[in-house]
């Protein structure tokens, strides 16, 4: 994720935290452009995780069939990179779901 996307995510999470603490009344404190940027950044991150997993799987298949010049170490590194990116995406998803649940459980 780019620095700008991370800053946008941080701003949105701050708004959600403030809402959870009862410091904001309306969820419309983000302008539409910031919400769009967040959505696009999340979409790009998901596509990058998918690409890393597809690439790792292609490396495994290529190595198993004896095609290409990849070593076992390179295949293992690509699998680990894909796994770490996937685990990171799951952690982000879990944090977003927790924040959403916290906001929806607010008593008005």
Please tell me the least confidently modeled range out of 30-34, 65-69, 89-93, 98-102. 30-34
Residue 104 has which token pair?
Answer: 């929806």
- Residue 24 pLDDT greater than 50, yes or no: no
Distance CA 28, CA 7 (A): 18
Q: Which domain holds residue 51?
A: 3-104
- Domain count of the fold of the chain: 1
CB atoms within 10 A of CB 37: 20
The Cα-based distances of 96 to 23, 57, 71, 103 in angstroms read: 19, 28, 38, 11
CB atoms within 10 A of CB 57: 13
Residue 8 is given by DSSP the state: H
pLDDT tens for residues 53-96?
Answer: 999 999 999 999 998 788 999 999 999 999 999 999 999 889 98
Distance CA 16, CA 65 (A): 50
Distance CA 83, CA 53 (A): 8
């Amino acid at each position: 994720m780019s620095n700008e996307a991370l800053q946008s995510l941080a701003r949105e999470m701050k708004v959600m935290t403030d809402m959870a603490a009862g410091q904001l009344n309306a969820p419309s404190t983000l302008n539409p452009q910031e919400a769009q940027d967040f959505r696009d950044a999340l979409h790009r991150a998901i596509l990058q995780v998918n690409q890393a997993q597809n690439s790792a799987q292609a490396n495994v298949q290529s190595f198993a069939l004896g095609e290409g010049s990849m070593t076992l170490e390179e295949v293992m590194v690509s699998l680990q990179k894909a796994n770490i990116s996937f685990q990171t995406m799951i952690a982000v998803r879990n944090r977003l779901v927790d924040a959403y649940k916290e906001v929806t459980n607010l008593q008005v």
